[in-house]
Every structure is written in structure tokens, then in C-alpha cells.
Amino acid sequence: MQKTYDGLSLVVRSLDLDIQRGEFLSLLGPSGSGKTTTLMMLAGFESPTAGEILLDGSPITRTPPHKRNFGMVFQNYALFPHLSVADNVAYPLTVRKVPKGDIATRVAKALDMVQLVGKGERLPGQLSGGQQQRVALARALVFEPQLVLMDEPLGALDKQLREHMQIELKELHRKLGVTFVYVTHDQGEALTMSDRVAVFNDGLIQQIAPVEQLYETPVNRFVAGFVGDSTLLTGTVGQADGDSCELVLPTGERLTGLNINRALPGTQVLASVRPERIEPCLVKPEALGNAVQAAVTDIIYFGDHLRLRCAVNGQAPATVKLPLAGGLQPVVGQAVWLHIPQPYLRIYH
């Protein structure tokens, strides 16, 4: 599928997205990467310039939004301010001409689902931001849609409320078994809530994978940098041999890692490793190899782990995460060797 607004630049360049029934799929990417455009094409508010959208094998590309039976939640809630909470939630049922008696029952059930029992008579303006967002959610779910589309629905909430709502949304998804497609630019949010994440950049899906796979095996620099914390090293490729290659640092030190996208010997590369995979040692781990010399410049206590900042010659500062129960008691200024096990050093051209 493709989309251009002006006939010149493709804002969604090549989209091949297979959404599985019942999954929680997030579309994650920086601002302008094409997430909202993709969601609007799924909802039917925008049509693709090329390509088809299939639902259970049948094309719905030309089906208008109200006939797709998808629920939609927007960032700004989009509630009717002059209608009561109950009437807002009833709205999709009214337009679908559901009998009056059924409407009351279904609205009550939907309000119960989002923990707003007793708030039906209020106006949206009399509710907190989190409560208003739950009204929007009840309105999107009340007609039992097959698919619920959400565009940064928690963006307007403060951090604490947002984290609380993330857990509630996740629980609701599990209870209902409805398919959720959720747009966010927040990688933490995508990782905590989703079954799978599609990482967008520049109108292209860079990688779509279950959360753990995305975190452990990013397929390119962009995904490695955008999802989760990484320690980065720049250098050139030394010997390359199948799936692995040498990383030659500007200091002349050599490490071995995974050659993720077939970088050729002599080319400039970026290597990344998750901070929790790095093992700091006080003496050079000769037997293990794959270590780079560093000095501890800062130690931050995080409650469940320590985070070290280390200076590495010719490189940006390296972050290392250490469990509190670890044997090493680092001090600022200490010289250390950072051992990076070969399977965790991912090298990208």
C-alpha cells in the first residue's frame, strides 16, 4: 500500500502489514513517519493512492468508515461536550439504530468496563483527563467492533496517569480479545503494551516483530537506536566471515560481533549493544576476549540496578546496567574493561 497527499512525495512508501485477529499491535515511530496516515487508511478516513486493504480476505479499500465497524480513539478524545457521558457512549449505537432498551444496557456495560459506573449523567467537562479518555474508549468499544484503532490516545495525560491507563488498556485488551492497533511515538509505551510492534520511519516499516524479538534483534541502525537503550561504538569492519565480523575501533582495539546487514571489510559501521549485556571487569578478561578499555565517569543508583557511564577512547559515553546484587563494586574514576559477548554486539552498516 502507498499514500501520497500531494502526488509528489510518498508519506507511506511501501506498507505490507498483516494484522492478526486479537493481537495488540503498535505502530511506533517518530513524528512524521506515517503512523497516523496508516491508521486513517485502516479507518477509511483516507484512501491509499495504491494498494488494497483486506479484511478477512475481502477488499474494504473503498468501504466508508462507518461501514467498517472499527472503533476509533483519538488523542484529543473528541467527545461531544454538550452531551452527557452516557449519551456520548450511546452515540455509535444510536447511529446504528440499535433499539432504545438495548442501548441503555450496553452503555451501562461499557461504562462498567472502563470503571465509570455512576458517571453517566455528567458532562465530559466535569471529568478528569483520564476519565474523559475512558469515555472515548467506552464509545469506541460499545458497538463491539472487530478492530479498535487508537492514535496516541494517552498523549495528553500526565506521566503517572498515562502509565496507569497503559495497564488498564492492556487488561481490557486481554479481557475483550478484540484486535487493537495503537499508534504511539513512545517506545516504552509500545514495549509495555503490545504483542507486536511495527517500527515506522520515513513512511516505511523498518521492522515488525514481537516485543522481545524487536528489543533483542533489531534489524537495522534505526530500530536499534529508536527502541530501548543502547551503547554505541563506531568503527570499521575488519575481517568479515559469514554472520560475524570484526569491529576495528579507532584505538586499534578489535571486537567480534554479528554482521547484521552484511557490512563489507573496510566500511564504516555502527555497533550497538544493550547496556545490560555489557560485563565490566577490573582486570582485562584475556580468556574471554571481546573487551574494550574504559573508565567509570558516573554511577547512578536506580533502585533495582546501577547505571554506569563510562568513557571509552574515541567513542560517545557508554552506558552499562549492573544488577545491584552483582559482585563488582564500581567507583568513579576506576579503569575497567567492558566485556561485550560476541552474540550481543550487533554491527550495522
36 scored as a contact of Mg ion (CB under 5 A): yes
29 scored as a contact of ligand ADP (CB under 6 A): yes
58 scored as a contact of ligand ADP (CB under 6 A): no
Q: Largest Cα–Cα distance of the chain, in whole Å?
A: 77
201 scored as a contact of Mg ion (CB under 5 A): no
- Cα distance between residue 242 and residue 308, in whole Å: 33
**Closer residue to ligand ADP in complex, CB, 29/153:** 29
Q: What is the closest distance, in whole angstroms, from the C-beta atom of residue 270 to Mg ion in the complex?
A: 28
Segment interacting with ligand ADP, rule: CB under 6 A, options 24-32, 83-91, 94-102, 129-137 = 24-32
Segment interacting with ligand ADP, rule: CB under 6 A, options 33-41, 69-77, 111-119, 240-248 = 33-41
Q: What is the closest distance, in whole angstroms, from the C-beta atom of residue 220 to ligand ADP in the complex?
A: 18
Considering CB under 5 A, how many residues would be counted as binding Mg ion? 1
In the set 1, 10, 34, 339, which binds ligand ADP (CB under 6 A)?
Answer: 34
Residue 34 binds which one of Mg ion, ligand ADP, none, with CB within 5 to 8 A depending on kind? ligand ADP
The sign one gets for the Cα dihedral 200, 65, 89, 171 is negative
Q: What is the closest distance, in whole angstroms, from the C-beta atom of residue 218 to ligand ADP in the complex?
A: 19
In the set 5, 66, 229, 298, which binds ligand ADP (CB under 6 A)?
Answer: 5
Contact by Cβ (8 Å): 306, 300: yes
One DSSP character per residue, 151-216 reads ESTTTTS-HHHHHHHHHHHHHHHHHH--EEEEEES-HHHHHHH-SEEEEEETTEEEEEEEHHHHHH
**Closer residue to ligand ADP in complex, CB, 46/279:** 46
- Cα distance between residue 269 and residue 221, in whole Å: 10
Q: What is the closest distance, in whole angstroms, from the C-beta atom of residue 35 to Mg ion in the complex?
A: 5
Q: What is the closest distance, in whole angstroms, from the C-beta atom of residue 258 to Mg ion in the complex?
A: 33
In the set 26, 33, 187, 231, which binds ligand ADP (CB under 6 A)?
Answer: 33
* Helix, strand, coil distribution of the chain in percent, nearest 5: 30, 30, 40
Radius of gyration of the chain (CA): 25
Contact by Cβ (8 Å): 278, 320: yes
Please, what is the Cα angle at 8 between 181 and 29, to 5 degrees? Answer: 30
In the set 35, 134, 139, 221, which binds ligand ADP (CB under 6 A)?
Answer: 35
CA 272, chain centre distance (Å): 19
184 scored as a contact of ligand ADP (CB under 6 A): no
Q: What is the closest distance, in whole angstroms, from the C-beta atom of residue 189 to ligand ADP in the complex?
A: 14
155 scored as a contact of ligand ADP (CB under 6 A): no
71 backbone dihedrals φ, ψ, rounded to 5°: -85, 150
Site of interaction with ligand ADP (CB under 6 A): 5, 11, 29, 31-37
